Structure 1
């Protein structure tokens, strides 16, 4: 792809605020000067926003203040004026009912901050799971020059000589407790080893996946995704990003120039190669909707189906993000896909270079961590999209994290009406369940939870775990953490809370799962399904106030990205009227 740079110098958007001698121009400039800014900083140089999701309530992003300063240094070096501002920070580990419920709120915050303020470009400072898509969604809706810099993953956790992967080890150890294989004291000791440095999850969870997606989309500098949070090279990346955004403004290089159909196809294939999170499906669909690209669930299945998973990272594999970085990081994966004819090498990136130019000289320094294609972790990675009378609009499964023997299975449904019902019953020794059954949980989708929480990877009942069974098929309209694993079918759509077929599944119904043929079938007649749906009634007692009300009224299904219906499409960077 060729990109024609804009002529420079030229009038900038910030000129409408700062670029004259009228009363209104003086009003805007003079207030800014109470921060001790010299007059010549308003001489027409680009004004660059630093959109920061720093928050001590978002542990993954709690170190972003230092990185923001590095970004400022780079912006000053390149001749820009940096202005840092906060936006709503969606912290996965703290927010209830779910960080996903607030992704769209953060995206709205970003969009309106960019639209209403005198900014010519923006650096998006992200880390924790939902902050990356939220900021990309907001920036895409305004379409001023934008670039991503992530906070980076934590260092490896270690416990008694074994790697401890964020989230992944938590799920494993909690199951081991129920199976009687681990003591509570050991679990508490292991807790101290799980998060031993600043940064986001050190597995290929959603945070690392979305950092990789930003890079694969071309919205971050090459190599950004994998640098550990505490590595000095993360600070260098932040400073280089600050320099680069100034040049992007001068060139007028915008998200709409980068986030093309080719870019999204590259990202989908990259997600398969890295064994990325199922959450990436929802987030990329939402970002594509904001920038005006027609992307569907079927694209995920078609484009990712034959992509081998070559990154051997938890939860699908053995290693963690630290080793991934040392092996060469995402550029090595992109080079492998490019060499195999699986990427659009001419896709443009924020560097101004094509993807092929960016990765032309990279090397793989550890073929255990980033495997050659002929020794892939799984030959068909990607995201499997299942459809049938149980999921007319689709459901998703991550093959690289699933059990091969369960990829074709017929089992008896054991139904939980919601997460509270699951918690009340799962540890009951009288629960009528064994390893051949299929666990079904309802009312955990976008409207049902509300917010579509990461509860889809339901823990197995203790009496099954004690047999040494580690996996069962689980089906829900929920999400699961990118750090989780298992044969877990998610995002079943339409969701139960809006009367999707999942809502009428009953204990004892037989369900057929055939991943190879992409089939998810409830073995009940069409007439019986219709009769049950006719009797179905929506949930009562959902939140009625504030943002929760807005969310329930306007959130769309997981199959289209769970964005708000009124936020689809880019609305441009028009300058608001001055009210002074």
Structure 2
């Protein structure tokens, strides 16, 4: 199938690339294109930018050349001329627990900006974007919403689970192993052995961590083809999906279906519903609002909580459960999860997707193949969705917890605050065994502005879990958590400490009360004392003095907005 250029001309549909290639005045432009070896035929076809986030350090991205090659084959088959270009990516696992993590969330904005610059600068008619890991997926979705030219997202696919001593393991298992060694529950030689087997090859880490949550959300949102979230990276069907994505973007171009036709309030609500059913990463509370904002759809944290109370938790995935993304794939994937929700009348089905048809048509043949991996609607793992939004005098504008990964005994907890002004300070005392049952660890000045960069706290949460303290110790932060975190880990506390939010006023030993079912998070002091403490807070010097993070901290808004840049 080739794009019907004659129909475009007849109907007056303007190809953006005409601005860069048509007419006598564009002879210099065409001359430069010929330097790339392009023929008249290739120049005259629609131009499709193919965004490749390949690099050689992220295991989720080291195979993306093959995925991108398949995309380009599909574009050519569909009648377009593909132009591949790169963007950056940070591996959150490798960046964890040091200064590198300050750059992870800020990379999201750079990714979106760089794609916008390339697409606008070269007047691409359409885009296929190839991400896989944590901030790359939302960064690309944000760019799609901003640019609003026909776009398909196709991820590189999830990693297979590792196998060690007769059980399946993943990256989270290794992080928790560090805590187990510190607690004397595992020998260092065992940890070394586990390290060798936990991450067997290419793909986004194998649990329902941030990368896989966002790839599944992309499919649920309608911006990825069926299978985008769950087909494993190593399978031939992942290559076939990439080729289909290249072909499909040409159909979207011909039908003039754009991201803002797909990313609407109803599809955002669908995506949040699927997120709740999956028990996805808390980072979606940052990324979904940012993606919606880029597409002109404004939402707030209350929407997440409302949908969470309506949608049951249907899939028990690592880190909170025993299943991995490959299990979800074999059980029917995201389309099967959506089928369960649709049959319960919990989704809007009259929405266009990148398939070129509506969601109702997409789900017609979807089927649940394993009811233990995807539970029936009336037999969920939990009656409420995976995430909960907590508010109170400690988080007036909200905070988030993955309640599906919290032990029953920690759904309500009251304990003394152990206060730290950085992740490093907290991790040092945790590893030294200085945190005891009942404590509430408070890590502050790690928010978007104060961090800057809003670091993930996987090392402290994993250390607590490895020590067996995840059922007796809570952790609060104005930073955020990895999708691999579990336990009573409450993040995104807003306003953050750097903005003189109440978390900055907490003192060592203060009593903090957490009630997840009641959605409350409170510091047990009087309103008058809290106001006085906040009024007496001193200005805190920025942790960075130059470079991108200075500009980021000056531009970024609070976590409850999705940490988008201020207007």
TM-score scaled to structure 2, two decimals? Answer: 0.94
Counterpart mapping for 1:529-548 below 5 A: 529-548=530-549
Partner of 1:16: 19
- What residue is the counterpart of 1:576 in the other structure? none
What does residue 332 of structure 2 align with?
328
**1:435–1:469 CA contact under 8 A, matched in 2:** no
User: Structure 2: how far apart are the matches of 1:137 and 1:340?
Assistant: 30
Give deviations 1:146-183, integer Å, cap 9, x for gaps: 110000011121001100123x2123322221222211
Q: Distance in 1 between matches of 2:509 and 2:315?
A: 39
Within 1, Cα distance between the matches of 2:262 and 2:270? 12
Contact kept in structure 2, 1:90 and 1:106, CA below 8 Å: no
1:100 is matched with which residue? 105
Q: Provide closer, same or farther for how the CA distance between residues 466 and 252 of structure 1 changes in structure 2, counting only shifts above 3 A.
A: closer
Q: Which residue of 1 aligns with 2:411?
A: 407
Please name the residue that 2:194 is paired with: 190
Structure 1: segments with no counterpart, 5+ residues: 1-5, 567-580
Structure-to-structure mapping, 1:93-172, within 5 angstroms: 93-95=93-95, 96=100, 97-166=102-171, 168-172=172-176
Aligned to 1:150, the other structure's residue is in SS state coil
Instruction: Measure the CA separation in 1 of the matches of 2:411 and 2:469.
Output: 19
SS state of the match for residue 305, structure 2?
helix
**What is the deviation of 1:205?**
0.5
Report the counterpart of residue 3 of structure 1 in structure 2: none
1:489 maps to 490
Give, in whole Å, the separation in 2 of the partners of 1:474 and 1:405.
Answer: 15
2:299 counterpart residue number: 295
* 1:541 positional shift: 4.2
**Secondary structure at 2:88 match in 1:** coil
Inter-partner Cα distance in structure 2 for 1:313 and 1:519:
26
Single out whichever of 207-216 and 314-323 deviates more from structure 2.
314-323
8 Å contact kept, 2:179–2:467: no
CA contact (8 A) 2:430 2:460 kept: no
Question: Does structure 2 retain, via aligned residues, the 8 Å contact 1:417–1:443?
Answer: yes
User: Aligned equivalents of 1:61 and 1:533: distance in 2?
Assistant: 45
Please name the residue that 2:3 is paired with.
Answer: none
CA contact (8 A) 1:456 1:475 kept: no
1:207 paired residue among 207, 211, 218: 211
Q: CA deviation at 1:471?
A: 4.5
Counterpart in the other structure of 1:449: 451
With over 3 angstroms needed to count, the CA separation of the structure-2 counterparts of 1:184 and 1:395, relative to structure 1, is same
- Within 5 Å, which residues of 2 pair with 1:413-452? 413-429=417-433, 431=434, 433-452=435-454
* Residues in 1 aligned to 2:398 and 2:42: alpha-carbon distance in whole angstroms: 53
Corresponding position of 1:87: 87
Shift of 1:339: 0.5
Superposition deviation, residue 245 in structure 1: 0.5
Alignment of 1:310-329 (within 5 A): 310-329=314-333
* 8 Å Cα contact 1:50/1:122 also seen in 2: yes
Q: Secondary structure at the match of 2:31?
A: helix
CA 1:398/1:103 → structure 2, altered by over 3 Å: closer, same or farther?
A: same
The answer (yes or no) to whether the contact 1:226–1:322 under 8 Å persists in 2 is yes
| Cα shift readout 1:448-468 (whole Å, capped 9, x = no counterpart) | 221011116724888x97677
Closer/same/farther in 2, CA of residues 424 and 192 from structure 1, 3 Å limit? closer
Moved more, 448-457 or 495-504: 448-457
The DSSP-based 3-state class of the residue aligned with 2:93 is coil
Work out whether residues 476 and 490 of structure 1, in 8 Å CA contact, stay in contact via their aligned partners in 2. yes
Cα shift readout 1:227-285 (whole Å, capped 9, x = no counterpart): 01010000000000000011111121111100000010001000011111000110011
3-state DSSP of counterpart to 1:60: coil
Aligned partner of 1:347 in structure 2 is 351
Displacement after TM superposition at 1:104 (Å): 1.1
Distance 1:191 1:405 in 2: 31
Of 47-56 and 365-374, deviating more is 365-374
C-alpha distance in 2 between matches for 1:438 and 1:312: 26
**1:518–1:392 CA distance, 2 compared to 1 (3 A):** same
1:180-579 equivalence runs, <5 A: 180-429=184-433, 431=434, 433-455=435-457, 458-459=460-461, 470-566=471-567
**Inter-partner Cα distance in structure 1 for 2:566 and 2:462:** 36
Does structure 2 retain, via aligned residues, the 8 Å contact 1:310–1:377? Answer: yes
Instruction: Name the SS for the 2:416 alignment partner.
Output: strand
Aligned residue-pair number: 554
Asked if structure 1 preserves the Cα contact closer than 8 Å seen for 2:410 and 2:471, the reply is: no
Is the CA contact 2:470–2:486 (under 8 Å) kept in the aligned structure 1?
no
Q: Secondary structure at the match of 1:305?
A: helix
Measured against aligned partners, the alpha-carbon deviations of 1:4-44 in whole angstroms (never above 9, x if no partner) come to xx96343310001112233xx1111121122222221122x
8 Å Cα contact 1:258/1:347 also seen in 2: yes
TM-fit CA distance, 1:493: 0.4
Q: More displaced, 452-461 or 312-321?
A: 452-461
SS in 1 for 2:310: coil
Alignment CA distance shift 1:404-1:7 (3 Å): farther
Shift, 1:538, TM fit: 2.9
Q: Counterpart of 2:8 in 1: which secondary structure?
A: coil
The alpha-carbon deviation at position 469 of structure 1 amounts to 6.3
Q: Aligned with 1:8: secondary structure?
A: helix
Choose 233-242 or 516-525, whichever is displaced more: 516-525
CA contact (8 A) 1:426 1:460 kept: no
CA-based RMSD of the aligned residues comes to 1.8
- Counterparts in 2 of 1:113 and 1:469: CA distance versus 1, 3 Å: closer
Question: 1-side partners of 2:152 and 2:200: how far apart?
Answer: 29
- Contact persistence 1:390–1:501 (CA under 8 A): yes
Q: Structure 1: how far apart are the matches of 2:188 and 2:458?
A: 24
Hey, what does 2:66 align to over in structure 1? 66
Q: Map Cα deviations across residues 529-568 of structure 1 (whole Å, 9 max, x no partner).
A: 12211221232143232321210111000100111113xx
What SS does the aligned partner of 2:92 have? coil
Contact 1:219–1:258, Cα closer than 8 Å, also in 2: yes
Retained in 2: the 8 A contact 1:305–1:382?
A: no
CA–CA distance in 1 between the matches of 2:213 and 2:291? 15
Q: State how far apart, in whole Å, the 1-side matches of 2:8 and 2:453 are.
A: 45
